[in-house]
Amino acid sequence: MKLKSHLHGKRGADLLHDPLLNKGTAFTEAERDALGLRGLLPPHVATQDQQVARVLETVRRKPTDLERYIYLISLQERNENLFYRLVTDHVTEMMPLIYTPTVGLACQRYALIFRRPRGLFLSLHDRGRVKQVLQNWPHADVRMIVVTDGERILGLGDLGANGMGIPVGKLSLYTACAGVAPDQCLPVMLDVGTNNAAFLQDPHYIGTAQPRERGPAYDALVAEFVAAVQEIFPRACIQFEDFGNANAFRLLREYRDKICTFNDDIQGTASVTLAGVYSALRLTQGRLADQRFLFLGAGEAGIGIGELIVGALRAEGVSEDAARRQCWYVDSQGLVVAGRTDLVEHKRRFAHDHPGATSLLAAVETLQPTMLIGVSGMPATFTEPVVRALARCNARPVVFALSNPTSKAECTAEQAYTWSEGRAIFASGSPFPDFVLNGRTYQSGQGNNSYIFPGVGLGIIVSQSQRVTDEMFFVAAKVLASLVTEQDLAVGRVYPNLQRIREVSAAIATAVAQVVFQRGLTQMLCPEDLAARVKAQMYDPNYPDYV
């Protein structure tokens, strides 16, 4: 009886303890005999479909979403194929549990729910030996790395090393949504301390209990990490995730033209938002060149969206100055205008000559924007007066409340629809339930980056791109918008049904890879059938035969 080579000689208990190879009760009679599993498993041989039904029922019986998260992570730690079959088969139900909004609470309580380590923790104490730490990772062919320093976890702020839940969750979505093989994914936490006072006093905190490091020591750790990745995992793309504004912008500037890297908070959020804008224009019958955008929040997400919108407008023949005049921002100090002296560099590019406004409502009433986009992390800031003011100057006001998790959303779907008498075009970062108003059911779209980054990452991996460009995110937005159906729009959804996410990711990956080959960003030759190559590379969570 011949064994498959990908078992790497594992058998018996060692095989059952390897989450990439374990099939649990689905090992066949022949496999149990050949692999030394007889007696180590209950006698009943289950199919994977039966296992999926069983774990789905278990998930649904858990009393809270956090308990469901803990159960799902434990399933991932013992049987990755089953975990990903469950998630891909029931992605609409599972994604809010393994990522936003539940992952935010999981990060806040990470020390208490920590079971088995996933990924690598690099601290300031590892300076000078980062390469050796990376070599401890058991998988050699790493293609996608998600790294955070935990300073700005979703809209929850500085969670330090507890923020490791974000890279772990993001990479789960790479696999579930785009079929990036789980052994090609590496979550990394750069533990440089935390300024979270509660964590510094918490005896259970899992990270380095010291104030957050700034300056040369911080930069040296990041530089050593980047250099070590180039040596140990030369085909890997580094995704920077949930860094604070100051570090996020400058690290992207520092490395984007040197290595294969991107920042999802800046570029991925921009892409999924632009896609939503394109879809909204199908409902308003408007033109991009005629829109005026008002952002609440001028950090990574807001500025990233604005820059990509400027690029999209320029592609339609609008001058850069005119394009920037279509994007306006409100930050914690009010409207971002040229007369302010407190603006950091990334805000000054969108600071226009205009009288100031101290509130969002005043800005809406003065500027009369067509689209209001919330990326502030400040809940309940799209108040009834704000939404009603927007609705007075637009037949179909566009309201995107994109802050995550749900508790940080600028307004709810129900509020947006109610305050606009059902005329709003609404999207949010985390999901909201369907809402019925005057006999009509509204299914708001989820403007989540998971529509974008998995497909972009897959395209980079398939093409072995040496760089990541803004053009890739522009193309991804166009592809995503093109996949929104008339049926989606009819119920108010500006994104495709989430159940189509693997189809969406494959299409985005193909388009991104085409950009890579067209721009000469790889040494690979373009395959004759690129779409087929993309689909062939996607991980299949169905169990393989071992004998």
* Catalytically annotated residues: 99, 170
Q: Which residues contact 212 (CB under 8 A, 6 or more apart)?
A: 151, 158, 160, 192, 193, 194, 195
Task: Please check whether residue 363 is in contact with residue 328, taking contact to mean a CB–CB distance below 8 angstroms.
Answer: yes
Name the packing angle between helices 453-463 and 530-537 (round to 10°): 110
List residues bridging with 427 in a β-sheet. 400, 445
CA distance linking residue 9 with residue 30, whole number of Å = 17
The residue count for the chain: 547
Q: List, as one string, the DSSP characters of 299-368.
A: SHHHHHHHHHHHHHHHHTT--HHHHHTTEEEEETTEE-BTT-S---HHHHTT-BSS---SSHHHHHHHH-
Task: Please check whether residue 163 is in contact with residue 255, taking contact to mean a CB–CB distance below 8 angstroms.
Answer: no
Q: Which residues contact 456 (CB under 8 A, 6 or more apart)?
A: 262, 268, 271, 468, 472, 473, 476, 508, 509, 512
CA distance linking residue 74 with residue 308, whole number of Å = 39
Using the CB atoms, write b or e for 172-204: b if 16+ within 10 Å: bbbbbbbbbbbbbbbbbbbbbbbebeebbeeee
